[in-house]
């Protein structure tokens, strides 16, 4: 039978959607376009009002085009399940992603009259999935940022058992995966108590994965600034080349007054200390970030501080986005909401700065060497999180190559030749 999984939202959602597809493929079913599917799953997002709008639009479209049931799951269903259930007669709302998979399997197996078939290899190592495999090690968040509703949608922080993560990474490696990306809503809050009563945190998890599996390298999808501690930074040097010297650290604002209003758990001085500690150990490190433009009460002077701070941190990429009012959050009720036109202008300034900083970072890397994982065709991903065009012989999908960067291609990619 045929299924369709539609993903919305963050990298964690992407990993969860891949897991849903893998589970259905493992049972012997086939992915298909929406209009040809016997069942559809929509993995929803609710982080902003715009995300809610996209979620409703996706569910309505699936309800119209899919002949079978449409199972809506994920964050938006945890916030307003009743409203989503009214978007189509064939819509089933199931906040639990695991139960959503089970319901989809029940539909497909009932229609096919077949029992599930277990795969012999990791299904996410097959064509159609990312060559750099995302693995979720944590879910939920205990923080209370004033603009965010994810803590309500996902609940409190919960960690996957270390042994389960080790097994998952080992299987990925044995299936030919060269890089895994550890994902979570707040990955730095990873916690597990071992049999001896010792508290294991993220650095211990990373160390276990590198010591006990043959995985080529590990990358973190994102980590909150307060969780970038000395133990984590030390791993960048100890496991040079296997633990990516690329950290995505969400800044959100380079103005302390705005950070306080956001409920962030650091100030710019603390953020800068951690970045400087990373560069001290790995001068070649790549640090990417998120910045919100136009948070309530943000002035021109506040935004100017953000631009200057971003320059000082030498970010290699800035994911800039306009503040979007999310009903149900404290920030939505704040006075001093910024004019939408100003938000657009500030976001544009951040995009321009991001392009400038990214070009500077690529230029610094010309003549240096890095390991690159091939993703599609000649395009690979470097340790420093740059797309790279592989010169010479056509590379094999998923392989890891050591390349010397020879220049910058017109599409803002590095070019690299084999060593």
Dump pLDDT digits (tens) for 130-176.
899 999 999 999 999 999 999 999 999 999 999 999 999 999 999 99
What average pLDDT does the structure give for the chain? 94
Is there a single domain that holds both residue 22 and residue 131? Answer: no
Does 97 lie in the same domain as 36? Answer: yes
Strands (E), 175-255: 179-183, 192-193, 199-200, 217-220, 246-248
Dump strand ranges (E) for 60-183: 70-74, 91-93, 132-136, 138-139, 158-159, 179-183
List the CATH number of the domain containing 257. 3.30.750.200
The model's pLDDT over 55-99, given as tens digits with 9 standing for 90+, comes to: 999 999 999 999 999 999 999 999 999 999 999 999 999 999 999
Is the domain of 287 the same as that of 232?
A: no
Distance CA 107, CA 39 (A): 7
- For residue 116, pLDDT over 80 is answered with no
Sequence-ordered list of residues with C-beta below 8 angstroms from that of 349, at least 6 positions apart, any chain: 293, 303, 307
Give me the phi and psi of 398, to 5 degrees please.
Answer: 90, -10
pLDDT value for 110: 81
Say if residue 30 is in the same domain as residue 53.
yes
How does residue 195 score in pLDDT terms, banded at 50, 70 and 90? confident
Characterize the bridge pairing of strands 192-193 and 199-200: antiparallel
Tell whether 239 and 170 lie within a shared domain: yes
The answer to whether residue 355 is domain-embedded is yes
274 within domain boundaries: no
Residue 293 lies in a domain: yes
**What's the distance, Cα to Cα, between the start and end of the chain in Å?**
46
> Does residue 337 carry a pLDDT above 90?
yes
Percent of the chain beyond pLDDT 70? Answer: 97
Q: What is the CATH number of the domain that holds 207?
A: 3.30.750.210
pLDDT for the residue 114:
58
Query: Do 151 and 178 have their domain in common?
Result: yes
- Residue 273 forms part of a structural domain: no
Question: How many domains does the chain contain in total?
Answer: 4
For 205, the domain range is: 121-244
Check whether residue 342 and residue 376 sit in a common domain: no
Provide mean pLDDT across the span 101-118. 75
Instruction: Decide: residue 354, CB within 10 A, 0-12 exposed, 13-18 middle, 19+ buried.
Output: buried
């Amino acid at each position: 039978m045929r299924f369709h999984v539609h993903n919305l939202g963050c990298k964690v959602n992407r990993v969860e959607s891949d897991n849903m597809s893998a589970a259905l493929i493992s049972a012997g079913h086939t992915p298909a376009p929406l209009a040809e599917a016997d069942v559809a799953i929509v993995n929803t997002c609710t982080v902003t009002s715009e995300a809610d709008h996209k979620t409703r639009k996706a569910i309505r479209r699936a309800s119209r085009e899919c002949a079978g049931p449409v199972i809506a799951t994920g964050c938006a269903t945890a916030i307003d399940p009743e409203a989503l259930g009214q978007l189509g007669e064939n819509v089933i709302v199931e906040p639990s992603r695991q139960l959503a998979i089970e319901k989809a399997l029940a539909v497909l197996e009932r229609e096919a009259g077949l029992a599930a078939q277990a795969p012999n290899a990791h299904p996410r190592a097959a064509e159609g999935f990312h060559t750099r495999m995302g693995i979720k090690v944590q879910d939920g968040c205990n923080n209370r940022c004033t603009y965010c509703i994810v803590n309500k949608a996902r609940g409190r922080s919960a960690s996957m058992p270390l042994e389960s993560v080790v097994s998952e990474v080992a299987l990925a490696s044995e299936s030919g995966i060269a890089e895994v990306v550890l994902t979570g809503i707040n990955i730095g809050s990873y916690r597990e108590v071992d049999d001896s009563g010792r508290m294991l945190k993220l650095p211990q998890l990373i160390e276990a994965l590198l010591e006990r599996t043959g995985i080529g390298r590990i990358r973190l999808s994102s980590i909150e600034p307060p969780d970038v501690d000395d133990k984590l930074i030390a791993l960048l040097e100890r496991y040079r080349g296997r633990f990516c010297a690329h950290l995505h650290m969400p800044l959100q604002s380079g103005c302390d007054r705005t950070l306080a209003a956001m409920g962030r758990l650091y100030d710019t001085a603390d953020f800068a200390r951690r970045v400087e500690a990373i560069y001290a150990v790995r001068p070649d490190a790549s640090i990417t970030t998120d910045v919100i433009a136009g948070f309530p009460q943000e002035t021109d002077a506040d935004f100017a501080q953000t631009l200057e701070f971003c320059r000082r941190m030498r970010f290699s990429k800035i994911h800039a986005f306009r503040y979007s009012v999310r009903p149900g959050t404290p920030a939505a009720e704040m006075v001093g909401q910024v004019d939408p036109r100003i938000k657009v202008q500030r976001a544009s300034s951040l995009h321009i700065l991001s392009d400038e900083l990214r070009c500077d970072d690529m230029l610094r890397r010309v003549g240096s060497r890095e390991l690159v994982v091939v993703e599609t065709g000649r395009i690979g991903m470097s340790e420093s999180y740059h797309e790279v065009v592989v010169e010479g012989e056509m590379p094999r999908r998923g392989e890891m190559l050591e390349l010397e960067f020879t220049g910058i291609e017109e599409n803002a990619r590095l070019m690299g030749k084999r060593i």
